Each structure stands twice: as structure tokens, then as C-alpha cells.
Amino acid sequence: MSTSSGTTQGDKYRSYLDGEEEKNTKWRFGAAPNYDVVNKLFEEGGTKTWPPGSLEEKVQNLVKSWEMEVFHKASLDDFKTLDPNKYTFSLNGRKPLTLEEIATKLGGGYNPLLQTSLPKKFRGYDPDEDNAESSHKAFITTFPRGFALEVLQVYSGPPVIVYKFRHWGFMEGPFKGHAPTGEMVEFYGMAIFELDEHSKIVKVEFFYDRGELLGCLLKGATSDVSKTEIPSTSSCPFLKNTG
């Protein structure tokens, strides 16, 4: 998940975010994202410190760069971690989806990562009702310090990368009418990234229980805070620079 908050002037963990090669990049929310806050969360709450240049560090940085691109770059021409003509994504063994299918069938944003076959009344978060912008607003409001990612173990290296990961953050804002708890929210999962001969990602598979995330977000008391009362990205500097 890519809720972010690293500097756009030389982020330590993400490539293709700034510099001369990104001067014409089209950013989905108007400007390049800023990851300073979530980088701090990562550095303070991470459980692994990988040696510089190690396979684990390279995989971790690749995943962070991939997340940044798929959530924040508006034009496929600007993608550098993946090949948009070959790329597919699947969750928990579902049918792989192309980038076009993700945008047209699922609405983009967090929806591909939160697909579910649950009946609507049990979903907590319903991908059928949110799009890229509304899901972005919902999660950065819930996690104002971001939702950090660390790679816990790499089981195989390129061209087929298999790794175990941890995501975590603190629920310090409301979520879908539920009051913030202030508690740490975390979940674990596995992923497979397949790279082609040019080291571009062409296939991504994730395996995890979305209930481990949503269950924690639905613990707070229901409130009168409407999910529609979140400021638009055009009027809120915070939303412009994080994600």
C-alpha cells in the first residue's frame, strides 16, 4: 500500500521521483509526492536494517519505487520500474489484470489491493464505491504519518523475486465513519515480482489477508465524520504532497 508522506529532492529509498529525468512527469495529484514523514516512520519502526547494496535492500527500494509510480504517476509513458505493455497485477490468486483493466474495471488507487468477494455488508471498504482519488483521500486521512513498508525476507532474487513484507502505520484519523484509535495497524504478506530482460517489472502477485488491515480500521466508534468531508486535493497542500 502506498500511503506516503521522503523527500522529492533525492529520496533515499525511491528512484524515478525527482531530478532531470522527471521534470516533465505528469503527477496524478498535481505534484510529486513527499515521503519525509513516512520515511521517518519507517526508520523509527522498522525491524530490519539491510546492508547497503544487499539483495534485500535492492528489493525493498524497488518495491517502494514501484508503489510510488503506480499510485502517483498519471501517464504510462512516465513509468520506469515496469513495462506498461506487459505488466499484470493479481491479488490472492485472482485473474491477472493489465493496467488498463485496473483503471477501467477497478478504478485504480487502493482498489486492486483491496479486492474482495465478500457480500457488500461485510466489506468495510468497498472497491465498487471508491476510485483512485477517493481511496487516496480516505487512507492518507486515516494514516497522516503514512503507511510504512519493510521487506522482511527475500526468498529468491531476479528475475523472479519472492519476498515477505510488513506494512504498518498509526490510525490517527477517521476511516469510513469510524473514529481514530491511535493504535498501530500492521499486516504481513508475501509477493512475487517478475522482471524481464531489461529489469522491468512485468508481473506482480500479492498474497495477504485484507481483513488484518480493515479489521483494525473498523474498531473505532462510529462517528458523524463523513467520508465525503475530506478536503479536495486541489485545496489541501498536505494531500498534494503525500500519498
The rounded average pLDDT for each run of 10 residues, N- to C-terminus, in the chain (243 residues) is 48 95 94 96 98 98 97 95 98 96 89 92 88 89 97 97 98 95 97 98 97 94 56 35 38
Q: Of all residues in the chain, what percent carry a pLDDT higher than 70? A: 88
**Domain 35-218: which CATH number of 3.90.76.10, 3.10.450.50, 2.40.50.100, 3.40.50.1470:** 3.10.450.50
Which residue in 201, 184, 175, 106 sits closest to 145, CA to CA? 184
- 3-class SS of residue 51: coil
Domain boundaries, the chain: 35-218
Query: How far is residue 72's CA from residue 69's CA, in Å, rounded to a whole number?
Result: 5
Backbone CA torsion sign across 146, 187, 100, 107: negative
Residue 131 is predicted with a pLDDT of: 84
User: pLDDT tens, 84-119?
Assistant: 999 999 999 999 999 999 999 888 889 999 999 999
C-alpha separations of 200 from 57, 79, 103 in Å: 17, 10, 20
Compute the distance between CA of residue 218 and CA of residue 124 in angstroms, rounded to an integer: 7
Say what the pLDDT of residue 93 is. Answer: 97
Q: Which residues contact 122 (CB under 8 A, 6 or more apart)?
A: none
